[in-house]
């Protein structure tokens, strides 16, 4: 038996040696979960996007890596008509689709692929519309179905989108994962073979990495696309090692079993930063955690009451206890990394005495009873809603407001708060396309109040007219002052207590060079190289 163990240890020692010599060309990413499929149009999960749209696919317009600005992708350029209703895209020529064991393209990317990718989602009669149970949650969620009146294939390399109304975030929407461009030729082949769902499971794209294999819940393998139109990626092989437990991911990073890891445990960060072999990159997250006051209900229909409650909360204490340093106090509903963020807005200072006085002035000298809804799940914008609710409860008790903490199962929580059953509710939002409209209109606009995504149920004319005007202008410089003004109105009216923006941490081994954090939450490895 002893001999046997000895032999195995030696075999392992040999295989590890092999690993380090061949490892220079292989980048391993310890991811946190399994993708639902490899089809970004079908999904809403960041894990799926990190495994599909980021490595495998391209979009007409793309986010410049590391930012939220939109740059040309598969479309080399575009023209917007003066009325903002027509977008004409000039497509890039000579872009090959991936060649793999299961598909060999006979032609380069062209307008047919654009038509296919959008019509699948738009047209309920399209042969692929119902394949893989297509729900197209993002396409519909971003209102694309109502926004796109028609799409014209002008010629092989020109496509025109006709809109029902001028909506300036449209371009940013096209850079989102769900708008990835699929191969129409591959789809047709799979349909003919009677296996159309393969389109969503064995992906073919134009991106920097070619899909090689997926072992469910274990490993995803990619090979470098040497014909990539943007130039080949930095390393030859890319492997995602799926590891659900954050502590185990960290152990793998330390042991050299992966180079980069997703979502570290905040409690481990201090140790990571002290470790020479590990670098931790950090960036403000494109998100906001907030407490919304139900402005349709008494006494929250009174602006002074809302301000008093906001002033009574010690957000620094929340940041320390709930975010453990991985966050920053939110002043505005949009995070500071987003364009048009207004740095001149003056936030409420934590001041229980002033809060008590203001509450008395508003007609509630003895306070009142209310509730705080706390989410049952962990989110980047709120790692522990229960604890946050308890801290707010204590703060409010200081000014005589007696709050009961309420929670439901996640689905029910979302539904009930959408129906407005709460007095105050903790929730948050992660940006989809980097456009301020995606926060200000989707969460605080009048239409959102009707649908329920506006949890404050706040429909305020001065704010609404500003954001609706900004929505129809396509020039960013003209939009910016409108959004800045809207943020000032927001702070004046206090529909939310803006709690925090989270900070994103990405730990990686010291030999990793060139990694760029994606503010939109995906992990991409195109630029990464490994030092010897």
Question: Which residues form the interface with another protein (CB under 8 A)?
Answer: 7-9, 11-12, 14-15, 18-19, 22, 26, 28, 33-34, 36-37, 44, 132-133, 135, 137, 140-141, 197, 201, 213, 215-219, 221, 239, 241-245, 247-248, 251-252, 254-255, 257, 408-412, 414-415, 418, 427-430, 451-453
Q: How far is the CB of 330 from another protein (least distance, A)?
A: 16
Pairing of strands 158-163, 402-406: unpaired
Task: Pick between residue 391 and residue 427 the one whose CB is nearest to another protein.
Answer: 427
- Collapsing DSSP to helix, strand or coil, 146 comes out as helix
Q: How far is the CB of 284 from another protein (least distance, A)?
A: 19
Task: Pick between residue 37 and residue 50 the one whose CB is nearest to another protein.
Answer: 37
Q: How far is the CB of 217 from another protein (least distance, A)?
A: 4
Task: Pick between residue 223 and residue 516 the one whose CB is nearest to another protein.
Answer: 223
Task: Pick between residue 207 and residue 289 the one whose CB is nearest to another protein.
Answer: 289
Q: Which tokens in the block code for residue 528?
A: 């990464």
Q: How far is the CB of 523 from another protein (least distance, A)?
A: 17
Task: Pick between residue 241 and residue 485 the one whose CB is nearest to another protein.
Answer: 241
Q: What is the largest CA-CA distance in the chain?
A: 84
> Are 294 and 456 spatial neighbours (Cβ–Cβ below 8 Å)?
yes
Query: In sequence order, what are the beta bridge partners of 428?
Result: 289
Q: How far is the CB of 511 from another protein (least distance, A)?
A: 17
DSSP letters of 161-214?
A: EEESS--TTHHHHHTSGGGPPPPHHHHHHHHHTT-TTHHHHS---SSSEEEEEE
Q: How far is the CB of 249 from another protein (least distance, A)?
A: 9
Q: How far is the CB of 311 from another protein (least distance, A)?
A: 27
Q: How many CB atoms lie within 10 A of CB 517?
A: 19
Please give the Cα distance from 9 to 434 (Å, whole number): 51
* C-alpha dist (Å) from residue 9 to 5, 6, 15, 213, 323: 6, 5, 10, 29, 43
Task: Pick between residue 364 and residue 381 the one whose CB is nearest to another protein.
Answer: 381
On the CB side of 347, CA atoms within 13 Å amount to: 19
DSSP letters of 344-360?
A: TPPPPP--HHHHHHHHH
Of the candidates 485, 519, 486, 467, the one whose C-alpha atom is nearest the C-alpha of residue 168 is 467
Please give the Cα distance from 468 to 520 (Å, whole number): 24
Task: Pick between residue 247 and residue 472 the one whose CB is nearest to another protein.
Answer: 247
Q: How far is the CB of 188 from another protein (least distance, A)?
A: 20
Task: Pick between residue 308 and residue 456 the one whose CB is nearest to another protein.
Answer: 456
Q: How far is the CB of 212 from another protein (least distance, A)?
A: 8
Q: How many CB atoms lie within 10 A of CB 226?
A: 11
* C-alpha dist (Å) from residue 497 to 278, 282, 331: 37, 25, 9
> Are 278 and 510 spatial neighbours (Cβ–Cβ below 8 Å)?
yes
Q: How far is the CB of 239 from another protein (least distance, A)?
A: 5
Task: Pick between residue 159 and residue 427 the one whose CB is nearest to another protein.
Answer: 427
Please give the Cα distance from 283 to 297 (Å, whole number): 38
Task: Pick between residue 137 and residue 164 the one whose CB is nearest to another protein.
Answer: 137
Residue 183: phi, psi to the nearest 5? -90, 120
């Amino acid at each position: 038996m002893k001999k046997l163990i000895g032999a195995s240890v030696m075999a392992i020692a040999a295989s590890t040696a092999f690993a380090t010599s061949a490892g220079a060309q292989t980048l391993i990413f310890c991811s946190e979960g399994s993708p639902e499929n490899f089809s970004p149009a079908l999904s809403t999960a960041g894990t799926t996007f990190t495994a599909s749209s980021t490595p495998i696919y391209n979009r007409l317009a793309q986010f410049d890596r590391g930012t939220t600005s939109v740059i040309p992708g598969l479309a080399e350029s575009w023209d917007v008509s003066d009325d903002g209703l027509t977008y004409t895209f000039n497509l890039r020529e000579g872009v090959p689709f991936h060649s793999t064991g299961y598909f060999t393209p006979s032609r380069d990317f062209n307008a047919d692929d654009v038509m296919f990718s959008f019509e699948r989602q738009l047209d309920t009669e399209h042969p692929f519309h119902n394949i893989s149970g297509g729900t197209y949650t993002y396409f519909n969620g971003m209102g694309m179905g109502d926004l796109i009146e028609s799409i014209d294939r002008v010629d092989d390399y020109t496509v025109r989108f006709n809109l029902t109304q001028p909506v300036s975030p449209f371009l940013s929407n096209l850079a989102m994962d769900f708008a990835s461009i699929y191969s129409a030729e591959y789809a047709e082949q799979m349909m003919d073979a009677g296996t159309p769902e393969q389109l969503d499971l064995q992906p073919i794209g134009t991106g920097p990495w070619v899909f090689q294999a997926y072992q469910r819940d274990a490993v995803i393998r990619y090979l470098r696309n040497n014909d990539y139109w943007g130039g080949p990626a930095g390393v030859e092989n890319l492997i995602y090692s799926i590891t659900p437990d954050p502590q185990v991911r960290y152990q793998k990073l330390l042991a050299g079993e992966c180079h980069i890891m997703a979502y570290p445990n905040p409690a481990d960060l201090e140790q990571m930063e002290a470790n020479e072999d590990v670098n931790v990159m950090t960036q403000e997250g494109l998100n906001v955690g907030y407490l919304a006051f139900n402005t349709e209900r008494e006494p929250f229909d009174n602006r002074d009451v809302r301000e008093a409650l906001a002033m009574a909360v010690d957000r620094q204490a929340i940041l320390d206890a709930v975010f453990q340093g991985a966050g920053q106090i939110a002043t505005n509903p949009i995070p500071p990394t987003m364009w048009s963020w207004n740095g001149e807005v003056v936030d409420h200072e934590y001041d229980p005495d002033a809060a008590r006085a203001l509450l008395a002035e508003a007609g509630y000298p003895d306070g009142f009873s209310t509730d705080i809804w706390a989410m049952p799940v962990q989110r980047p914008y709120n790692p522990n809603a229960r604890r946050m609710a308890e801290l707010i409860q204590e703060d409010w008790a200081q000014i005589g407001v007696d709050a009961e903490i309420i929670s439901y199962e996640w689905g029910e929580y979302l539904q009930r708060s959408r129906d407005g059953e709460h007095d105050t509710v903790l929730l948050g939002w992660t940006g989809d396309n980097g456009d301020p409209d995606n926060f200000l209109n989707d969460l605080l606009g009048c239409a959102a109040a009707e649908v329920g995504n506006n949890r404050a149920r706040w429909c305020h004319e001065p704010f609404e007219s500003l954001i609706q005007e900004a929505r129809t202008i396509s020039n960013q410089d003209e939009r910016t002052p409108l959004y800045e003004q809207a943020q000032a109105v927001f702070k004046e009216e206090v529909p939310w207590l803006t709690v925090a923006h989270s900070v994103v941490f990405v730990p990686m081994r010291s030999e990793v060079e060139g990694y760029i954090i994606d503010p939109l939450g995906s992990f991409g490895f195109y630029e990464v190289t490994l030092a010897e």
